[in-house]
């Protein structure tokens, strides 16, 4: 009898020391497979957009990177970002709302900017305006400066060219990153004289003005961004 009781206690001890069984979550494998499939589709869609419309891809990734750099995120940041992106009209060429990563305020950088053109003549303001290529109003993300075909376009400050490419909306355009998280953009250019990754100096010629992209005539579209948020550049240029 004592031997039987001793054996029963040993069995109870062995059972108590066994690691707990992992509980299976219903549908866990299916959910993981669905997430992998959706991620693959998303990456494929972005690759196609980048191939045929680099400007649209920029419009997606730039605000997404800025959003994801925030300290507080929604538990479903990608879903929230997608809705915000669609509601703010970033998904198409006929935008009717202000892009959420552009401010209606001005920004004055710590450094003095060099004029992008030898003579500054503003032909279209920053912010809300009547859409020159369609009906209704839209939010203009830069200022348009009058310039004939072939006018030299100069860098506003020392920096590095982060983009020298083409898109449907901007045409031939250049983006230069400067100190203190400052970025400038030069669009609708005729020719580009710089390449991505090239360092440039203030006043260095980046190319010539033109009428490429979605325009009604030759001019230079100029944008000023601080920490990837666009601001009215007129005060910074002394206009």
pLDDT score recorded for residue 83: 47
Between 69 and 31, name the one with better pLDDT.
Answer: 31
Distances in Å between the alpha carbon of 143 and those of 19, 92, 128, 170, 173?
Answer: 67, 20, 11, 13, 14
**Taking a C-beta distance cutoff of 8 angstroms, is the pair 214, 172 a contact?**
no
Q: What is the CA radius of gyration of the chain?
A: 27
The string of DSSP codes covering 109-141 is -SSPPPPSSSS--EEE-SEEEE-TTSSSEEEES
**Taking a C-beta distance cutoff of 8 angstroms, is the pair 158, 179 a contact?**
yes
DSSP character at residue 193: -
**Taking a C-beta distance cutoff of 8 angstroms, is the pair 145, 117 a contact?**
yes
**110-147 confidence digits (pLDDT tens):** 999 999 999 999 999 998 888 776 666 788 999 999 99
**178-221 confidence digits (pLDDT tens):** 999 999 999 999 999 999 999 999 999 999 999 999 898 999 99
> Which residues make up the CATH 2.70.70.10 domain(s) of the chain?
102-232
In this prediction, residues 29-46 reach a mean pLDDT of 71
- This prediction has a pTM of 0.62
CATH topology of domain 102-232: Glucose Permease (Domain IIA) (2.70.70)
In this prediction, residues 153-176 reach a mean pLDDT of 96
100 has a pLDDT exceeding 60: yes
Q: pLDDT band at residue 18, thresholds of 50, 70 and 90?
A: low
15 has a pLDDT exceeding 80: no
């Amino acid at each position: 009898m004592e031997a039987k009781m001793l054996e029963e206690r040993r069995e109870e001890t062995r059972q108590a020391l066994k690691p707990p069984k992992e509980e299976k979550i219903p549908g866990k494998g299916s959910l993981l497979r669905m997430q992998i499939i959706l991620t693959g589709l998303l990456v494929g869609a972005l690759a196609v957009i980048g191939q045929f419309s680099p400007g649209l891809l920029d419009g997606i990734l730039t605000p997404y990177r800025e959003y994801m750099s925030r300290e507080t995120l929604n538990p479903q940041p990608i879903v929230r970002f997608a809705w915000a992106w669609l509601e703010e009209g970033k998904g198409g060429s006929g935008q009717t709302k202000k892009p959420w990563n552009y401010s209606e305020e001005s920004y004055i950088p710590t450094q003095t900017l060099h004029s992008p053109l030898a003579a500054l003549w503003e032909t279209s303001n920053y912010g809300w305006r009547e859409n020159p290529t369609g009906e209704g109003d839209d939010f203009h993300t830069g200022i348009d400066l009058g310039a004939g075909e072939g006018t030299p376009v100069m860098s506003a400050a020392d920096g590095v060219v982060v983009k020298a490419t083409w898109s449907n909306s901007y045409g031939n355009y250049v983006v230069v990153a400067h100190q203190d998280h400052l970025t400038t953009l030069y669009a609708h250019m005729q020719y580009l004289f710089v390449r991505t990754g090239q360092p440039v100096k203030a006043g260095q010629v980046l190319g010539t003005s033109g009428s490429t992209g979605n325009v009604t005539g030759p001019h230079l579209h100029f944008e000023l961004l601080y920490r990837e948020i666009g601001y009215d550049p007129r005060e910074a240029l002394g206009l």
